Homo-oligomer: A and B are copies of this chain.
Amino acid sequence: MYSFNNDYSEGAHPQIIEALIKTNMEQTAGYSEDYHTENAVTLIKKHIRQDNVAVHILTGGTQVNLTAIAAFLRPHQAAICVSSAHINVHETGAIEATGHKVLSVNTQDGKITPTLIKNVLDEHTDEHMVQPKLVYISDSTELGTIYRKSELEAISNFCKQNNLLLFLDGARLGSALCSTENDLTLEDIARLVDAFYIGGTKNGALFGEALVICKDSLKEDFRYFIKQKGGLLAKGRLLAIQFEELFRENLFFDVATHANKMAIQIKNALLENGFSFVTDSSTNQQFPILPNSLIEKLSKKYLFSINSAIDETTSSIRLVTSWATDETKVREFIEDLA
């Protein structure tokens, strides 16, 4: 069985493993107060082309989301997101567990718009209701789609005009930035959002998500929040060493480019075979609609998840590629479509 089930099936890119081996017996300070962390932060800032940001590397995405959103909001304030958002569906109510309501809006493509945000604001008029304060988006989204620069600018402007914070979940930011459809850079994102994170877990690292806080007022005392939520790793350098490798040169982008390339090979083959998709994705998640008979056949050789039943004879599935996806297996999969 070969797995297209997700982008965290394997360990880490060999270069990252190598770095962990090489540094293993170093003695360093704990809790991310070591020189690797300092170095990783410098490298990340260099890639963002922005020095005035705070960077904290945490182990996982839910941890970053709950720590950051709880730190950024006052108790009566709420987050706005699309209904398919990770924080709304797949984090066991982690945001609500910190006391904040999540206000969701419906979309087909997993992307929010100023109009959708405005609808939420219009419905929340006084102190009998929560105060919408933060817009949460993902790039790429849960449905594989990405934000164009013009779209992110429109959201950013709307947020600034309405005194809303903008937070971008970048669990799959590598894949988004390396999409051939993408026109955003890390520099753009740091300029347009108040905070975002750069996902390592799904892009070549064993684990690790680098939270970048751009807005000054959100930076204060942030390490307290990480510690309080259980996210301050004793051997914090492990997070840093991985991001040093990802951002020393271009490893972060190279691994994402490979993942996308594998996904697009599959996408093109599916298109050639006449299949349609739930969303038009240029990233490492593809949601083709296939006959159930074909799905059954493929599932004997490949691991993947069923997304939803479309009608009685067809369903959509989710195929995910990664830095580790084997091109030989992709070709085999394509042959098996016939």
Give residues in A with beta carbon < 8 Å to B: 2-3, 5-6, 8-12, 14, 17, 20-21, 23-31, 59-67, 70-71, 74-76, 78, 89-94, 96-102, 127-131, 201-202, 206-207, 221, 223-235, 238, 303, 324
Asked, given contacts A30-B8, A97-B99, whether A228 binds B92 with beta carbons under 8 Å apart, the answer is: yes
A sample of 7 inter-chain contacts (CB < 8 A) reads A9-B29, A10-B25, A11-B25, A78-B93, A93-B228, A202-B234, A207-B235
A314 to B212, CA, bound (A): 44
Closest B residue to A94 using CB positions? B228
What's the dominant secondary structure at chain A's contact region?
loop
Q: Which residue of B lies closest to A14 (CB)?
A: B24
User: Within the assembled complex, what's the spacing in Å between the Cα atoms of A74 and B74?
Assistant: 8
Which residue of the partner chain, among B21, B75, B324, contacts A71 with CB atoms under 8 Å?
B75
Q: CA A9 – CA B130 in complex, angstroms?
A: 24
Find A129's partner among B25, B74, B89 (CB 8 Å cutoff): B89
Is A11 a contact of B207 with CB atoms below 8 Å? no
CB distance from A142 to the nearest CB of B (A): 12
- Given A8-B235, A66-B230, the answer on whether A96 and B92 have CB atoms closer than 8 Å is no
